[in-house]
Amino acid sequence: MNFPEEFLHFIWQFKLYGNQKLYTTTNEIIEVIQQGMHNKNAGPDFNNAKLKVADAIWVGNIEIHIRSSDWLLHQHQFDNAYENVILHVVYEDDVPIYRKDGTLLPVLIIKDLYPPHLLDSYQYLINSVNLFPCEKQIHEVDKFIINGFLSRVLIERLVQKSMEVEEKLSLLKGDWDETFYHFLAKSFGFKVNAIPMEILAQSLPKQLLSKHLNNPLQIEALIFGQAGFLNQKFTHEYPKQLKREYLFLKKKYSLKPIDISLWKFMRMRPQNFPTLRLAQFAALIYASNHLFSKILNIKNVQELSQLFADLPVNPFWKTHYHFNKEAQNVVQQLGKSSIDHILINTLSVFLFAYGKTLDQYQFVKRAITLLEILPPENNSITKQYLNVGVEVNNAFNSQALLQLKKMYCNEKKCLNCTIGIKILKP
Least distance from ligand SF4 to the Cβ atom of residue 118, Å: 14
Closest to ligand SF4 by CB, 125 vs 295, is 125
- Angstrom distance (rounded) from CA 20 to CA 8: 17
Residue 225 or 420: the one with the smaller Cβ distance to ligand SF4 is 420
Shortest distance (Å) from residue 37 CB to ligand SF4: 22
Q: Of 366 and 412, which has the nearer Cβ to ligand SF4?
A: 412
Taking the least distance from each CB to ligand SF4, the nearer of 44 and 420 is 420
Query: Would you state the torsion angle of the CA atoms of residues 15, 21, 25, 29, taken in this order, to the nearest 10 degrees?
Result: 110
Q: Which is nearer to ligand SF4, 100 or 406 (CB)?
A: 406
| Minimum distance, C-beta of residue 57 to ligand SF4, in the bound complex (Å) | 37
Closer CB to ligand SF4, 133 or 355, in the complex:
133
Q: Within its chain, how far is the Cα of 118 from the centroid?
A: 31
Query: Could you tell me if residue 48 is left (phi over 0), alpha (psi between -120 and 50 degrees) or otherwise beta?
Result: left
- The CB-of-408 to ligand SF4 minimum distance in angstroms stands at 4
- CA distances 32 to 13, 86, 114, 426, Å, are 11, 12, 15, 20
Q: How far is the CB of 141 from ligand SF4 (least distance, A)?
A: 8
Q: Which residues bind ligand SF4 (CB under 6 A)?
A: 132-134, 138, 404, 408-409, 413-414, 417, 419-420
Q: How far is the CB of 371 from ligand SF4 (least distance, A)?
A: 20
Choice between 307 and 409, CB closer to ligand SF4: 409
- Kindly report the three-state secondary structure assignment for every residue of the chain: CCCCHHHHHHHHHCCCCCCCCEECCCCCEEEEEECCEECCCCCCCEEEEEEEECCEEEEEEEEEEEECCHHHHCCHHHCHHHCCEEEEEEEECCCCCECCCCCECCEEECCCCCCHHHHHHHHHHHCCCCCCCCCCCHHHCCHHHHHHHHHHHHHHHHHHHHHHHHHHHHHCCCCHHHHHHHHHHHHHCCCCCHHHHHHHHHHCCHHHHHCCCCCHHHHHHHHHHHCCCCCCCCCCHHHHHHHHHHHHHHHHHCCCCCCHHHCCCCCCCHHHCHHHHHHHHHHHHHHCCCHHHHHHHCCCHHHHHHCCCCCCCCHHHHCECCCCCECCCCCCCCCHHHHHHHHHHHHHHHHHHHHHHCCCHHHHHHHHHHHHHCCCCCCHHHHHHHCCCCCCCCHHHHHHHHHHHHHHHCCCCHHHCHHHHHHHCC
Identity of the residue, 172 or 401, whose beta carbon is nearer to ligand SF4 in the bound complex: 401
The CB-of-386 to ligand SF4 minimum distance in angstroms stands at 14
Q: Which is nearer to ligand SF4, 111 or 136 (CB)?
A: 136
Nearest distance from C-beta of residue 419 to ligand SF4, angstroms: 4
Q: Closest CB to ligand SF4 among 221 and 417?
A: 417
Q: Least CB distance from residue 389 to ligand SF4, whole Å? A: 13
Least distance (Å) between residue 114 CB and ligand SF4: 19
